[in-house]
Amino acid sequence: MIIDILTALPFIKYILQGPEPKSIQTPVIAIPQAAIFPTFTFRPQKFDEYIGQGRNKTILSQYIKIMKARNYIFPHVLIHGKAGMGKTTLARIVAKEMGVPMTEAMSSIFANESVSDITDRLQSGFLFIDEIHALPRDIAEQLYPCMEDFKCNGAKIQPFTLVGCTTELGELLKNRKPFIDRFKLIIELQDYTLEELTAIAKQYRQVVFPNDSIPDSIYLALATNCRATPRLLIRLLEATVYFSGDYQTVLKNFGILKDGYTIKDLKLLGYISKTKGVGAQNIASYLDISATNYLYEIEPYLLKTDMLIRTGKGRTITEAGIVLLNTLI
């Protein structure tokens, strides 16, 4: 019997190749809304939400008002203060109030990009450089004509605002004085009061943890132990919420003994009380931390509260430091 070739084709294909593979469909898994992790954070978006820094907010608000009325580019501004005080947030608010974009970068960005590469894409906005004191001298000098004449390598560029933030104004004054002189507005962040810190903690809790209740006494305790630093305050507040309001356990686990003083502070004061002067590197080695960590995270609070002083021979404990040491032992 002769089989029609067209009829036989499917059979021949089956013999030669085997059956058609079944199409495999990847199952679609529906993720419940509750399983999508939200971002628990809050940053002030306007001056009314930014608690504290009243004098600085007044200065910046007036500049914003005049710059917008006259259609001027906002002047280059340098913001300095210790870490965790709200420098970046303040810069973002100013850019938002001016209605311009802000490009954020660390000073190390110039290791991979040229000054012209960065200024070319600013679009008349803000260039925010954090830890600007670490900017290499040659890069700072390349920025001079960019800041003064809006020129880069002799060519015109879009006018822009350079916003520099630093924890080390002294370093800039010592090694970059001509650079500082090109900033027309210098903002020094003020110390936060206990009242302001308490208000910051309450605001953050209301926005991020609206269903949690915290007594006023706990807000005050956290404000007293945050070394007057909003970033540390928020860290302690979040931990307190997660520990169901047991702030004493939180302080203990963070190594905080009293009024923001820590176990490391106690160890440090005990060490320098036995000597006539100790260098920062020796202290860092004794505490088993980096010198940078010591200089930025530990020493500023002890200097501010007069627990130690810097002398030509190194760090020396004060009378107040001795009293604190005896209290904490």
Phi and psi, residue 122, nearest 5°: -80, -30
Domain boundaries, the chain: 47-188, 194-254, 261-328
Give the pLDDT confidence of 219-235 residue by residue, as tens digits: 999 999 999 999 999 99
Q: Which CATH number fits domain 261-328: 3.30.499.10, 3.40.50.10170, 2.60.120.700, 1.10.10.10?
A: 1.10.10.10
Angle at Cα 261 formed by Cα 40 and Cα 274, nearest 5°? Answer: 150
| Residues ≥6 apart with Cβ < 8 Å to 117 | none
Predicted local distance difference test score (pLDDT) of residue 242: 96
Kindly report the pTM of this predicted structure.
Answer: 0.82
Topology (CATH level 3) of domain 47-188: Rossmann fold (3.40.50)
Residue type, 111: A
Predicted local distance difference test score (pLDDT) of residue 5: 44
Strand extents, DSSP E, 91-249 = 102-106, 126-130, 151-152, 155-156, 161-166, 185-188
How far apart, in Å, do the first and last CA atoms of the chain sit?
108
CATH architecture of 194-254: Orthogonal Bundle (1.10)
Predicted local distance difference test score (pLDDT) of residue 176: 85
Predicted local distance difference test score (pLDDT) of residue 26: 40
Residue 36 has pLDDT above 50, yes or no: no
